[in-house]
Amino acid sequence: MTIIYNRCSMNPSNFSYCNCILGAIYVISTPKRISRIIFGKDRFKEFIGNLNVVKLTEGGEAEKSVREVRLYLEGKLKEFQSKVDLSSGTSFQRSVWRELLKIPYGKVKTYSEIARKIGNPRAARAVGNAVGANPIPIIVPCHRVVATNGFGGYSCGIEIKKKLLHIEGALS
């Protein structure tokens, strides 16, 4: 299957999807890296609507990553091999997203801890915004970041965040 739509700065070329315990998950990739994970058919359609004469073909790197996501959700994968394309973010966002990649499976960090790790200890709120803008949830594990006094938010919904933390054993 090939989908031809509009333009996007990250030059996506492939997509793949799976239906799983979290609903429909779509993975978008450039020729060599994963650039986006989208929860839900409606959000995928919205993403497609924002493209401009870009041809998306089912398969490629996206298909490999969908297999990894499925294994992760089944509790059979703890470390992703997928390469990610973080170029859609600002330099601050990319620094936060790279820090998220360092959080081990089954562990959580607070927004304040991430702010300190990136050398900007007073930027917890800005870290929260960057975490919320993460284009590659699950693989770039933004669900592992919590507020000092609770769960914090999650761009895909707090129930999904809780399910992901439960899969990892970080939430009983």
Count of residues in the chain: 172
C-alpha span between 164 and 62 (Å, rounded): 20
Q: How far apart are CA 150 and CA 42, in angstroms?
A: 29
- Radius of gyration, alpha carbons of the chain: 16
Q: Is residue 8 among the annotated active site residues?
A: no
The single-letter DSSP state of residue 115 is: H
CA distance 139 to 36: 10
Q: State how far the alpha carbon of 34 is from the alpha carbons of 29, 56, 87, in Å.
A: 4, 13, 11
Yes or no: say if 96 and 118 are a contact pair by the CB < 8 Å rule.
Answer: yes
The catalytic residue among 8, 20, 142, 156 is 142
Catalytic residues: 142
